[in-house]
Amino acid sequence: MRTILSALLLALAGGPALAAECMPIEKREPNAPEQRPAFIGQTRACEAPSEAAFDVVVLAKGLENPWAVEPLPDGRLLVSEKRGRLRIVSAKGKVGAPIRGLPKVDARSQGGLLDVALSPSFGRDRTLFWSYAEPRKGGNGTAVARGVLSEDGSALQDVRVIFRVMPTYDGTMHYGSRLAFGPDGMLFVSTGERSDRAMRKYAQDPESTLGKIVRVKPDGSAHEVWSLGHRNVQAMAFDPQGRLWVVEHGPRGGDELNLIQRGKNYGWPLVSYGQEYSGQPIPGAVTAKPGFEQPVYYWDPVIAPSGAQFYTGEAFPEWKGSLFVGSLKDRKLVRLVLEEAKVKGEEHLLAERGQRIRDVREGPDGALYIVTDEENGELWKLAPRAAK
């Protein structure tokens, strides 16, 4: 009976007639019911509840639209705020003063100070990398800079820009951008295509760095377009096997989980699930086409993904290997169960707290650290439930 009900729900929701033996977690009507997934399990995965017991510790409040959290080796945390401030928060939640030395940002709409990442050799060189919407002549664009954090943590020194996304555009949307160091020591940068229809073509232009995953030498001496055809990637992480995954904002009904391979084309705006925010079809787009990669998974309706982390710690053995993704629209933390590069289950956590989850990172202690994108944003720690 459960299998029949599952199949019926998927069929009514635009899924395949043949369903897995499970109850899909997503039961809402899709935005694009006429579209069909390319394979079973590409959308509306099984509900996969876990029994991990955790406490949500609110470490800090009063953060203004925090965008990223980056754990430091000593237990403190770096937190970026969209308006252009970077702060250190102690392990007990004391919020430090803004770190001096950051360049100016264009914080309108989706712009501002965005991601922050530690150098793989931070313990020796105290080097940080960050992405931001850079004000420029004729508009703005995503830029990546690096600098050295002073011993007392109060200022950045030797600051310089190592990568600029081009072309410049006078807009305020779709900057990307996440930063992640690969096993090869290179910095991977995700970029947006700037949203407006006139700019979408650049996601398919190999000479542009809009709508791309770009591999950058940490000294800024060279960069390479790693993959193309992306819309707006705000979640990116390497798995324990060293593979790069991204979760990108799609159109209405088309958020995607993609396993990134060098030189591959992920479709936007020629191949995409979903539709325009107006409800109209995406001009000229199809859901599948030879020569373009299919997403491993997609959400319809969307979750508005931001921030991603593969869990590798010991604090929550049941979560080991899971991919955690923040959800802005649905205000929850999404856990994906992956097997052989396929999504086998999905769990939704923290929805009862009703806050836009912007970033999630694993700390050295195995806890998960989360920031919420609110005017009065919070920093949370998910830790094993204390014995009573």
Distance CA 266, CA 98 (A): 38
pLDDT of 14 reads: 43
The reported pLDDT for the residue numbered 19 is 46
Helix (H/G/I), strand (E/B), else coil: 361: strand
CB 188 within 8 A of CB 176: no
Rounded CA-CA distance 308/217 in Å is 22
Cα separation, 158 vs 355, whole angstroms: 36
The C-alpha atoms of residue 223 and residue 209 are separated, in whole angstroms, by 10
Helix (H, G, I), strand (E, B) or coil at 317: helix
3-state secondary structure of 204: helix
Distance CA 287, CA 17 (A): 18
The model's pLDDT over 133-152, given as tens digits with 9 standing for 90+, comes to 999 999 999 999 999 999 99
159 alpha carbon, distance to own chain's centre: 25
In 253-268, which positions are buried (b, 16+ CB within 10 angstroms) versus exposed (e)? Answer: bbbbbbbbeeebbbbb
pTM of the model: 0.94
Would you state the torsion angle of the CA atoms of residues 102, 108, 111, 113, taken in this order, to the nearest 10 degrees?
Answer: 20
Per residue of the chain (388 residues), what is the pLDDT tens digit?
333 344 444 444 444 433 457 889 999 999 999 999 999 999 999 999 999 999 999 999 999 999 999 999 999 999 999 999 999 999 999 999 999 999 999 999 999 999 999 999 999 999 999 999 999 999 999 999 999 999 999 999 999 999 999 999 999 999 999 999 999 999 999 999 999 999 999 999 999 999 999 999 999 999 999 999 999 999 999 999 999 999 999 999 999 999 999 999 999 999 999 999 999 999 999 999 999 999 999 999 999 999 999 999 999 999 999 999 999 999 999 999 999 999 999 999 999 999 999 999 999 999 999 999 999 999 999 999 987 6
111 contacts 133 by C-beta, under 8 angstroms:
yes
pLDDT computed for residue 6 by the predictor: 44
Q: At residue 9, what is the residue type?
A: L
The dihedral region occupied by 364, where left means phi > 0, alpha psi between -120 and 50, and beta the remainder, is alpha
User: Which is the catalytic residue, given 174, 223, 230, 249?
Assistant: 174
Give the per-residue pLDDT at 22: 83
pLDDT of amino acid 63 = 98
Phi–psi pair at 125, nearest 5 degrees: -110, -5
* CA distances from residue 296 to 197, 340, 350 in whole angstroms, order as listed: 26, 11, 24
Instruction: List, for residues 191-235, the tens digit of each pLDDT value.
Output: 999 999 999 999 999 999 999 999 999 999 999 999 999 999 999
**Would you put residue 14 in left (φ > 0), alpha (ψ -120 to 50) or beta?**
left
CA atoms within 13 A on the CB side of 114: 30
Q: Which residues contact 59 (CB under 8 A, 6 or more apart)?
A: 77, 89, 92, 93, 369, 378, 379, 380, 381
For 213, the token pair is 């995953």
- What's residue 20's pLDDT? 52
Q: What's the rounded Cα separation, in Å, for the pair 373 and 369? A: 14
CATH superfamily of the domain spanning 2-384: TolB, C-terminal domain (2.120.10.30)
Distance CA 369, CA 353 (A): 15
Report, in angstroms and rounded to the nearest whole number, the Rg of the chain calculated over CA atoms: 20
Active site residue 174: yes
| Residue 134, Cβ density class (10 Å: 0-12 exposed, 13-18 middle, ≥19 buried) | buried
* CA 144 to the chain's CA centroid: 17
* Residue-level pLDDT at 17: 35
